[in-house]
Amino acid sequence: MNRFEGKVALVTGGGSGIGRATALKFAAEGASVVIGNRKEKAGQETVDLIQQAGGKASFYRTDVSNLKDVQNLVQYTVDTYGGLDAAFNNAGVEDPQAMTPEQTEATFDLVINVNLKGVWYSMKCEIEQMLANGGGAIVNTSSIAGVIGYPGHAPYTASKHAVLGLTKTAALEYAQQGIRVNAVCPGAIETPLLDGLAEGDSATIDYMKSLHPIGRLGKPHEIANAVVWLCSDEASFVLGHGINVDGGFTAI
Ligand code: NAP
């Protein structure tokens, strides 16, 4: 499919995991893709993978918790490829496991600044650009921890619940101006972030698998498929929605 031929897509956290898989999918469907994350080597690896497959991509070093960085990222995208049609606000960090009172203020601030404020900063800049373009589609990364409680991870859970609030609100605000805003809520997906949470403990991985009725963890491309569909014209009547891509985790 070439649903994004001639279009421009922006992916934050595109240097790894779910973001990388989604950047590859956008590019495979014809989009020019800009990847924004902090580690240049990782972002450039995604660019190389896209270019080796014949696609168009660029990296712009970005910390999404810094508004100026995000403004520069969106400006770079427009200057390089001439517009912005689709944005995947996906950069995120996890928190160390601890009961709510034991979480530190530093962790709380970091997680909220990246996972929540970063999404707001991104939408703030993208929506301005999309209004100038005449429309666009945005997908924000929430989580199953945006839908249900996740003991031991209060800052992360709070940030992901709030992402759904931002998503629904912006979707309603721009519903009649050609900008659709949605979210994706992944179950446990095999990425470096999940490796960090499991700390290489196979019993933890097996336990995570057991929580998914499908009997396994998800793959990054399974989230990418949902994100790219939400950004495509096939989802033209879908807005303000958080789609659970979770192997049935939240259906129980
Ligand atoms: P990952 O492989 O660790 O990727 C996270 C990405 O976010 C990296 O590219 C990282 O790049 C970037 N990032 C982190 N802090 C950033 C910052 N301040 N500014 C810009 N980029 C930043 O993790 P992943 O699993 O693909 O996670 C992607 C998203 O999915 C996250 O929002 C996560 O919460 C969510 N999610 C993941 C799972 C899961 O099971 N894996 C489940 C539900 C939701 P740099 O370090 O180079 O900046």
Rounded Cα–Cα distance for residues 56 and 22 (Å): 14
**pLDDT beyond 90 at 195:** no
Decide: 184 in ligand 1 pocket, CB within 6 A.
Answer: no
Atom of ligand 1 nearest to the CA of 192: 2
Please return the burial class of 232, using the count of CB atoms within 10 Å of its CB with bins 0-12, 13-18 and 19+: middle
* Phi, psi (deg, nearest 5) at residue 59: -110, 140
pLDDT attached to residue 137? 99
Q: What percent of the chain has pLDDT over 70?
A: 100
Mutate to test the pocket of ligand 1, among 22, 24, 38 (most ligand atoms within 8 A of CB): 38
Atom of ligand 1 nearest to the CA of 223: 30
Name the closest-CA residue to atom 10, ligand 1. Answer: 13
- 216: CA distance to ligand 1 center in Å? 21
Rounded Cα–Cα distance for residues 199 and 193 (Å): 10
Decide: 13 in ligand 1 pocket, CB within 6 A.
Answer: yes
State which fold the 8-190+220-245 domain adopts. Answer: Rossmann fold (3.40.50)
Domains in the chain: boundaries:
8-190+220-245
Instruction: Note whether 193 and 153 are within 8 A (CB).
Output: no
Give the total residue count for the chain: 252
121 flagged as catalytic: no
**pLDDT beyond 90 at 182:** yes
- 1: CA distance to ligand 1 center in Å? 27
Decide: 218 in ligand 1 pocket, CB within 6 A.
Answer: no
pLDDT attached to residue 199? 82
Rounded Cα–Cα distance for residues 14 and 33 (Å): 10
Characterize 239-251 residue by residue with b for buried, 16 or more Cβ atoms within 10 angstroms of its Cβ, and e for exposed. Answer: bbbbbbbbbebee
pLDDT attached to residue 198? 83
Decide: 194 in ligand 1 pocket, CB within 6 A.
Answer: yes
Rounded Cα–Cα distance for residues 248 and 131 (Å): 36
pLDDT attached to residue 200? 82
**pLDDT tens per residue, range 30-47:** 999 999 999 999 999 999
| Dihedral sign (CA 87, 228, 162, 160) | negative
pLDDT attached to residue 46? 98
Atom of ligand 1 nearest to the CA of 141: 32
* Phi, psi (deg, nearest 5) at residue 37: -155, 180
